[in-house]
Amino acid sequence: MQADDPVVELASLWLQYAEVDLRIARMCAADAAMPLWPIGFHCQQAVEKCLKAALVLQGVTPDRIHRLAELARDLQVKGVAAPLTLGELTLLTPFGVDEKYPRVKPGTVAPGDSELLIGMAERAIDWLRAILGATAQLAGA
């Protein structure tokens, strides 16, 4: 695959969108009055976009789903390990759909949860950058 390959370009666009989601999550987290759900939503979206970009690089057109574990399984079939554990993916997934809609939510959120979610999104983005960097190196070889 070459750097100007349409597949690499599409995966790079997915990365750009993921980076915007991470930026928005960080801006939300900077506001002490912000609830966790918008932070979690944008972190989930960032991770989802990274997984879908990696699928694109494997020649797969990703389904329009928000279930991160399912996307990770699709990657695993292609021999690519996801950047997060199944537990982490399972923790993030509800933010992609369920947490966007108002409902009574029992319990409280721990103070460090936003940092945990942002850390997951950062790891996924770093993982995708490494994959894209390796792809570019292969193209230049």
Q: DSSP states of 109-121 as a string?
A: --TTHHHHHHHHH
Give the single-character DSSP code of 92. H
Per cent of the chain over pLDDT 90 is: 71
Instruction: Give the separation between CA 25 and CA 36, rounded to whole angstroms.
Output: 10
Banded pLDDT at 103 (limits 50, 70, 90): low
| Residue, of 112 and 40, whose pLDDT is higher | 40
The pTM assigned to this predicted structure is 0.90
How do residues 23-49 score in pLDDT, each as one tens digit?
A: 999 999 999 898 888 999 999 999 999
CB 124 within 8 A of CB 80: no
Ranges of H-type helices in the chain = 6-29, 36-57, 68-77, 86-96, 113-140
* Rg over CA atoms, the chain: 16
The residue extents of the domains of the chain are 6-101+110-140
CATH number of this structure's domain 6-101+110-140, picked from the four choices 3.40.50.1360, 3.90.1150.10, 3.40.50.620, 1.20.120.330: 1.20.120.330
